[in-house]
Amino acid sequence: MATSDRSLPGGITARPLDERDVTSALALSREAGWNQIAADWRLFIELGDVIGLLRDGRLIATAATLPYAGRFAWISMVLVTPSERRQGLASWLLRCCVDDLLARELVPVLDATPAGRPVYIGLGFQDHWTLQRLIGRSVPMPAAGARQATMRPIEADDWPRLIAYDAAVCGADRGGLLQRLAPRLHDAALIAERDGKLAGYLLGRDGRVMNQLGPLVAEDDVVAINLLARAIGSISATIAIDLPDRHVTLRAWLTSLGFAAERPLTRMAYGTKDAFDDAERLFAIAGPELG
């Protein structure tokens, strides 16, 4: 990602981050109370771009972009340490990311908090759909729905068709991301098959304060519930699931287990209202920082 120090406050410089900066970047996300671990920062550095702002050699702010198959790219991890806020650094980082992605003919996409949404609208982002982060603490062993598909762990030879299946639902090839997520929460790396055909899959990842389940892609609510039931039954820690509001049946089932809404988000894209994803089959996102 090209960077320029022009228009930054005096004493602050910008540069791309690399593996040497993981510890400093992790300190920023921990300071903000976010859930990322070092593996998440490495994912952004390896698959995308991370820009950092520094004062006297100390990392004070970040933003990341994650491109998907030459179509669109996620913007996330916009962080500013508290002592450096109210200088327009977050806005500078966001504009830098948008300009870079547009120059590469990629559509910028993000998941906005209620506080951030008016800012993004002012910059040219448009609403696509809404979602909620649901949090489950001390979740009981769930009962699965009527079994209409066979579930099993993802195996190495499943990846070509799983990646193609995901691309048809999400609108781009995310194979690099999915294969990096699979080892993070092994018991949640599941595939569902029906009549010999792929009917859904689930991945998850470990985090600093909770585990995240998603992405979850499935042919219907029954498959989605069965995949989640198997994964939830194997996880003892707090669980986060980012669920599109349109999936009311799945939300009701999660609510019956004790999951509660923590915060709303809005999926937004720059300059277009045309969605990339298949709304019916995308049951949970990978996380607001990943899409």
Q: Residue 229 falls within a domain, yes or no?
A: yes
Instruction: Supply 258's token pair.
Output: 């004790």
Q: Residue 7 falls within a domain, yes or no?
A: no
Q: Residue 269 falls within a domain, yes or no?
A: yes
Q: pLDDT per residue over 75-107, tens digit each? A: 999 999 999 999 999 999 999 999 999 999 999
- The verdict on 35 and 84 lying in the same domain is yes
- The verdict on 204 and 160 lying in the same domain is yes
* Cα 109-252-76 angle, rounded to 5 deg: 20
Q: What is the mean pLDDT of residues 117-135?
A: 95
Cβ contacts of 47 within 8 Å, gap of 6 or more: 66, 67, 176, 177, 180
CB under 8 Å, gap of 24 or more: what pairs does 116-121 form? 117/266, 117/268, 119/91, 119/94, 120/268, 121/268
CATH number at residue 16: 3.40.630.30
- The verdict on 75 and 184 lying in the same domain is no
Q: Residue 113 falls within a domain, yes or no?
A: no
pLDDT band at 4 (very low <50, low <70, confident <90, very high): low
Q: Is residue 175 a contact partner of residue 68, using CB atoms and an 8 Å limit? A: no
pLDDT band at 200 (very low <50, low <70, confident <90, very high): very high
| Cα distance between residue 268 and residue 131, in whole Å | 11
Instruction: Supply 232's token pair.
Output: 């939830």
- The verdict on 148 and 49 lying in the same domain is no
In this structure, what DSSP letter does residue 21 have?
G
- The verdict on 147 and 248 lying in the same domain is yes
* Cα 261-264-267 angle, rounded to 5 deg: 135
Domain boundary, last residue among 54, 70, 105: 105
N- to C-terminal Cα separation, the chain: 20
| Cα distance between residue 234 and residue 218, in whole Å | 20
- The verdict on 246 and 147 lying in the same domain is yes
pLDDT band at 237 (very low <50, low <70, confident <90, very high): confident
Q: Residue 5 falls within a domain, yes or no?
A: no
Q: Is residue 269 a contact partner of residue 125, using CB atoms and an 8 Å limit? A: yes
- Residue 137 has a CB neighbour count (10 Å cut-off) of 11
CATH number at residue 162: 3.40.630.90
- The verdict on 141 and 47 lying in the same domain is no
For the chain, percent of residues with pLDDT exceeding 90: 86
- The verdict on 151 and 87 lying in the same domain is no
Q: What is the count of structural domains for the chain?
A: 2
Q: Residue 118 falls within a domain, yes or no?
A: no
Q: Residue 254 falls within a domain, yes or no?
A: yes
What range does the domain containing 170 cover? 132-284
Domain boundary, last residue among 105, 124, 154: 105
Q: pLDDT per residue over 139-172, tens digit each? A: 776 766 566 789 999 999 999 999 999 999 999 9
- The verdict on 162 and 63 lying in the same domain is no
pLDDT band at 284 (very low <50, low <70, confident <90, very high): very high
- The verdict on 155 and 207 lying in the same domain is yes
- The verdict on 151 and 221 lying in the same domain is yes
Q: Residue 257 falls within a domain, yes or no?
A: yes
